[in-house]
Amino acid sequence: MTIETRPFDPAAYLDSPEAMLAYLDGAFADGDAGEIADALGVVARARGMSQLAEETGLTRQALYKALSSNGNPEFATVLKVIRALGFRLHPEPTSAA
């Protein structure tokens, strides 16, 4: 008997703003640009990529491309997405500062 598996999709579990924020917070904590872009993409999918595209003025295809682990979104795109998701960026000192 073989075990059937399905790909894990974290977007399926991000069903509240608090869950989305916690997921993004983890990605931002590591500071890896690819991980941050990918996490924004996961949250965008959880929220609804079509709605996000409309709110940001970007196409769905452009969002999928930019918000992937291989994407390299412009900072303006990141800000548009974060605002449309109902969040904001703010500086916070590191423990070394």
Position 92 in a domain: no
pTM as predicted: 0.85
Q: How far apart are CA 84 and CA 74, in angstroms?
A: 16
Q: What percent of the chain has pLDDT over 70?
A: 98
Position 94 in a domain: no
Instruction: Convert the pLDDT of each residue in 13-28 to its tens digit.
Output: 999 999 999 999 999 9
Instruction: Convert the pLDDT of each residue in 30-51 to its tens digit.
Output: 888 889 999 999 999 999 999 9
Position 77 in a domain: yes
Position 58 in a domain: yes
Residue 97: predicted pLDDT: 55
Position 97 in a domain: no
More confident residue, 68 or 23: 23
Position 89 in a domain: no
Position 71 in a domain: yes
Q: What is the CA radius of gyration of the chain?
A: 15
Number of structural domains, the chain? Answer: 1
